[in-house]
Structure 1
């Protein structure tokens, strides 16, 4: 059998095996997780996994693939799981693992498809080339969800801090008007409709149901999401709730410092973007000067 025939046979066997595996996986008995079933039935639960605006998200095929991978594959294959970033984005670990497996399969299939395309065009490659390329692409694509989560979590953390500064200002106004600590926190959380305020309302409602102090709910959320600014707010509110301290000036000072930090971050980002823009502008200027100077130099040396 020629090299092209062998590659086509491998591709056909891979397709047939993937189809049979998908059919068996679809028809296999499902192991129902009681906790997940209760969470899906209780749509009003504050800790139901949701996307940005707090809407309930249905379990899809990627998440089912991730649950299968979590039960089947060794735990050491996943490496370091970005738990805080996933919690900030409200992405379950099953969905995250499912995306990693899906991307890895996609990366492994791409070189085989390209090799088959080259074979149809008459360009024959050794069998070892698509095999090594498939393994390398599978490993590379396996880490793409990690990079996506880190980037999305960075933007979400910046957005959370911006909304948190406004939330602190609202709490300060409520406290200045004579409201209690819990009342001020809940009234301030009702003002906004972004996903940050929705998340704060959920945590405060959960603390009311469980009898937990609201500042402890914020502290727990700060540890879960890795937000030090939220922990500082919880410390300030604890002084007001437990010791009856006047915290209006402290809240205003904390909000002002957060705005200054965000402004410095924006200025740093703007300067970095401006420096990157100078590179293409400089290259364009050099090209233009070269176009003007080179003909004159060629005439001087007598080439033209």
Structure 2
């Protein structure tokens, strides 16, 4: 049994070494004629495995959007998933060996293999869950920053600035990630000779920023039909402001409702505490007169 556990530990250790060699940064080396350095050895095997996982991940659109939201490439995410898979299996095996040595209890090899497989699956799935959580947090920050950007655009438009110039000028007012992404999207559309809403739509689709779609649609409608872009921008900013206020009121109302039950319990406990002494005195048989 011990030999089987050691054999499994050796296999998992080899996997960890492959992942470590793949992640290690090395200086560029000269490639001899007839020898492909990138496709040979353990580093090449790790890179090929990561590339295969990356190609599989590219089929998942939402995963790619989440990775773009946090500024992570799919290759790095693939290596993270491979590392989590190996680490999950290794952790289960190490814990099993330590439990066997410390307690002297013989654990069936099949149970160890099954638990190691479960740990590997957990390590494979956990990076996706963490990426999704981080992406949602970044989207919330992006939403708040984009609302500030829209406020600046509205102020510039109200002051008489050109609509397209106001979009670019407001994006240059800060170096926060959201402002930088919007500025890059507008610069890309300008370099390609496209209207600004095309660059903003690519940004929204690449990061799944659904809250930007109404503003982009209104801006495109105003630009293509000849309607007033100024009024379209101001109306969308007003709609975003009203929506933010409504969400804030809803959160405040929800917090008040959640506090209702604890306050009721506290009030009931206070009434019991204040009413118990006189009630105990009334119910005490010693205080009740027995003769007349």
Cα deviation for residue 162 of structure 1 reads: 1.5
Q: Is the 8 A contact 2:58 2:74 kept in 1?
A: no
What's the counterpart of residue 68 of structure 1?
48
* Residues 263/144 of structure 1: CA separation in 2 closer, same or farther (3 Å cut): farther
SS in 2 for 1:143: helix
Instruction: Look at both structures and tell me which one has the larger radius of gyration over its CA atoms.
Output: 2
* Residues 190/276 of structure 1: CA separation in 2 closer, same or farther (3 Å cut): same
SS in 2 for 1:121: helix
* Residues 219/159 of structure 1: CA separation in 2 closer, same or farther (3 Å cut): same
* Residues 20/192 of structure 1: CA separation in 2 closer, same or farther (3 Å cut): closer
C-alpha separation between the residues in 2 aligned to 1:187 and 1:176? Answer: 14
TM-score under structure 1 normalisation? Answer: 0.68
Cα deviation for residue 101 of structure 1 reads: 1.2
C-alpha separation between the residues in 1 aligned to 2:56 and 2:116? Answer: 22
Pick aligned residue for 1:29 from 4, 22, 37: 37
C-alpha separation between the residues in 2 aligned to 1:211 and 1:78? Answer: 29
Q: Is the 8 A contact 1:168 1:255 kept in 2?
A: yes
Given the alignment of the two structures, is residue 142 of structure 1 paired with residue 124 of structure 2, yes or no? yes
What's the counterpart of residue 29 of structure 2?
none
What's the counterpart of residue 289 of structure 2?
none
Q: Is the 8 A contact 2:163 2:229 kept in 1?
A: no
Given the alignment of the two structures, is residue 106 of structure 1 paired with residue 106 of structure 2, yes or no? no
What's the counterpart of residue 214 of structure 1?
196
**Relative contact order higher in (CA < 8 Å, ≥ 6 apart):** 1
What's the counterpart of residue 241 of structure 2?
259
Given the alignment of the two structures, is residue 178 of structure 1 paired with residue 176 of structure 2, yes or no? no
Cα deviation for residue 79 of structure 1 reads: 7.7
Task: Please list every run of 5 or more consecutive structure 1 residues that lacks an aligned counterpart in the other structure.
Answer: 32-60, 294-304
* Residues 72/246 of structure 1: CA separation in 2 closer, same or farther (3 Å cut): closer
C-alpha separation between the residues in 2 aligned to 1:143 and 1:252? Answer: 44
* Residues 277/69 of structure 1: CA separation in 2 closer, same or farther (3 Å cut): farther
* Residues 183/78 of structure 1: CA separation in 2 closer, same or farther (3 Å cut): closer
Q: CA offsets per residue over residues 123-166 of structure 1, 9 Å max, x none?
A: 32111121100101111221112111221221222222222222
- How many residues get paired? 257
Q: Is the 8 A contact 1:172 1:251 kept in 2?
A: yes
C-alpha separation between the residues in 1 aligned to 2:59 and 2:225? Answer: 45
Cα deviation for residue 109 of structure 1 reads: 0.7
Q: Is the 8 A contact 2:57 2:64 kept in 1?
A: no
Q: Is the 8 A contact 1:70 1:97 kept in 2?
A: yes
**Between Structure 1 and Structure 2, which shows a larger proportion of helix residues?**
2
* Residues 151/244 of structure 1: CA separation in 2 closer, same or farther (3 Å cut): same
